[in-house]
């Protein structure tokens, strides 16, 4: 059983991975997403460092940060968005190194296109085009798949400092 924090640019949640149903998220203010990410990364590990050890190896918790495939393949007109996602990606390994002495692991998820309520509003032609770019399976990721990866990153004690792409092999074109 792991204990950690999951943070994305839109949602932040305390997670006890033995209860995956608690992956329901709480809204964060979009305009405050950078401070939410940094605040979670800065404040939560301080609290985790005071946790009882979860294992004999000294582990006290885990942090999962959310980036995007845009960190690696920014599209035309998305320089600021891509740079912000690249910043979160860069934070993962650095934070893992900084927090290792406290017994806190840090990992990240760089998601592709996830079937969220925001995606429900796109027209079918555009959705089909997006799905065609995914290698396999040719569909959008499901929120449950994202949640399962968060749980895996928290539960896998030897996984640290890594960002995992959840994208079905998607590589975004320049446009």
- Name the token pair of 82: 């891509």
Q: Is 150 exposed, middle or buried (0-12, 13-18, 19+ CB in 10 A)?
A: buried
Q: Which two tokens stand for residue 149?
A: 């990866």
SS (H, E, C) 49-62: CCCCCCCCCCCCEE
Selecting among 81, 87, 100, 131, the annotated active-site residue is: 81
Give yes or no: 158 in active site.
Answer: no
Tell me how far apart the alpha carbons of residues 40 and 135 are, in angstroms, rounded to a whole number: 33
20 vs 115: CA distance, rounded Å: 19
Distance in angstroms (rounded) separating the CA atoms of residues 127 and 139: 9
Active site residues: 81
């Amino acid at each position: 059983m792991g204990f950690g924090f999951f943070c994305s640019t839109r949602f932040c949640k305390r997670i006890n991975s033995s209860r995956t149903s608690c992956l329901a998220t709480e809204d964060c203010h979009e305009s405050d997403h950078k401070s939410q990410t940094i605040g979670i990364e800065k404040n939560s590990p301080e609290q985790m460092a005071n946790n009882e050890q979860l294992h004999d190896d000294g582990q006290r918790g885990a942090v999962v940060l959310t980036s995007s495939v845009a960190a690696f393949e920014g599209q035309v007109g998305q320089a600021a968005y891509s740079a912000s996602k690249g910043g979160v990606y860069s934070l993962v390994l650095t934070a893992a190194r900084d927090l290792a002495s406290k017994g806190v692991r840090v990992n990240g998820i760089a998601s592709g296109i996830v079937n969220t309520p925001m995606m429900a509003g796109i027209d079918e032609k555009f959705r089909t085009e997006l799905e065609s770019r995914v290698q396999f399976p040719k569909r959008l990721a499901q929120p449950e798949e994202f949640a399962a990866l968060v749980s895996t990153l928290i539960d896998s004690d030897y996984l640290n400092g890594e960002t995992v792409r959840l994208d079905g092999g998607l590589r975004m074109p320049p446009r």
